[in-house]
A and B are shown apart, each in its own frame.
Chain A
Amino acid sequence: MPSPANPLGLQENDMATEATKAAGQGGEAVGMPQLDFSTWPNQIFWLLVTLVAIYLLLTRIALPRIGAVLADRKGAITNDLAAAEELKQKALKAEKAYNEALAQARADAAKIVAEARAVIQKDLDAALAKADAQIVAKSAESEGRITEIREGALAAVTEVAKDTAREIVVALGGKADARSVAAAVTARLKG
């Protein structure tokens, strides 16, 4: 504000006041209404009232509310992200458990197969061994009989040879000495 000692300021003030008076009557301004200092107390008073009103409105209601909403939202987002992460971990764990169970089942199956195979192999081996033993026994028996038959045949051949030789000696007019013929035949057969 111009001091009373400043004539220029006073003059301005007067001019502006004139302007306002004109404005009061005709609603028109001469000069700058901004420099009409008679209206300053009014403006400053209402400005302060307005600012206090806005300040109270903000600090009592608006700002805490908006701050809370923003904090809530941030919290909700953080929670959701954490929950998602947790679910992801759970899913991974479940997958791992599933894979483990699958591997276990495979191992079990392989074990059962191996056991069954072992049992079958054992039975098979036993059966084979038994069959082999029977075969061995049978072939031994057969061999005995073959030997018997061969010996029988050999004896028969010797007998026939002695008889034949005696007959031949007789037929040729010789005197068949049974003992010497037999000895000769035996010697030849051994030959």
Chain B
Amino acid sequence: MGANSVATEGESSGFAIHPMDQFVIKPLFGGTEIYWYTVTNVTLWMAIAVLCIAGLLVLGTRRRAIIPSRTQSVAEMIYGFIYNMVEDVTGHDGVKYFPYVMTLFLFILFANLLGLVPTSFTTTSHVAVTVTLALMVFLGVTILGFIRNGVGFLSMFWVSSAPLAVRPILAVIEVISYFVRPVSHSIRLAGNLMAGHAVIKVIAGFASLAVVSPVVVGAVAAIYGLELLVAVVQAYVFTILTCVYLRDAVGGAHH
């Protein structure tokens, strides 16, 4: 039945454009059912991301050279970049959460970049992944805030610099915005990745028309460049937002 519907859709559209196919999760070793432990293309591409991270940050730095090799200086650059970001945004107390932030950044960066390899699978284009990442940050920050500041963590919703009459309204707005954070945090990443990849696929689909194919090749190349930028920028955005949220928990109730 499923195959039928796909076939009819393919005929009716006239083009063989299936922009969402690249997001389908498939078991790697046959079978149709996907259980929580099934080894799928998600597993494969996440494992490749781990291997790349290991290659860059572990193999690349194995010589511990004072004068770094190229890979070592890239690893050091990423380290310094994220370390300074955590220190600048969350303050000195936040530095001890640097490994968590670094983990998030590296995973998202490599998942995004590996997603740009043709025929690959983009793990960060799935809402399940980004929602989990965002919820980890949200719950982590909230729990941390209560552990560090006790009930005083709630004072960040009570804007003491505003007139007393406005404060309850502001408190409602603050609470809503606080709970919207994980939603925007996760949808931003997945949405950007998914949309970009789908657009590339749609445009590439038009390449079967000989008339427009040169234009299509140029357009795909241009959008691919844009997607490279998006991949890095979205990893950066997710990370710096994580740091900003972390500051609420670490730096007390200051805005």
Give A residues with C-beta under 8 Å from B: 18-36, 38-51, 53-55, 57-59, 61-63, 65-70, 72-73, 76
Contact = CB atoms under 8 A, between A and B. Distances in A.
B133 interface: yes
- Residue among B18, B25, B129 with max Cβ neighbours from chain A (10 Å): B25
Contacts of A21: 2, 32
A55 B79 contact: no
A50 B20 contact: no
Interface of B: 2-3, 5-6, 9, 18, 20-21, 23-27, 32, 34-38, 40, 42-43, 46-47, 49-50, 53-54, 57-58, 61, 64-66, 68, 72, 75-76, 79-80, 98-100, 102-104, 106-107, 123, 125-129, 132-133, 190, 194
Contacts of B194: 34
A66 B3 contact: no
A29 B126 CA distance: 14
B34 A38 contact: yes
6 contacts: A30-B9, A34-B23, A44-B132, A50-B46, A58-B99, A62-B57
A30 B76 CA distance: 44
A145 B25 CA distance: 151
Contacts, number: 166
A55 to B, nearest CB: 5
B36 A41 contact: yes
Contact of A54 (B3, B38, B68, B103): B103
B23 A32 contact: yes
A62 B58 contact: yes
- Tell me what chain B mostly uses at the interface: helix, strand, loop, or mixed: helix
B23 A42 contact: no
A65 to B, nearest CB: 5
B66 A47 contact: no
Contacts of B57: 57-58, 61-62, 66
Given A24-B32, A26-B2, A66-B57, A54 B24 contact: no
A57 B132 contact: no
Given A34-B190, A47-B46, 8 more contacts: A22-B3, A34-B23, A42-B40, A43-B25, A44-B128, A50-B107, A57-B54, A57-B57
B209 to A, nearest CB: 21
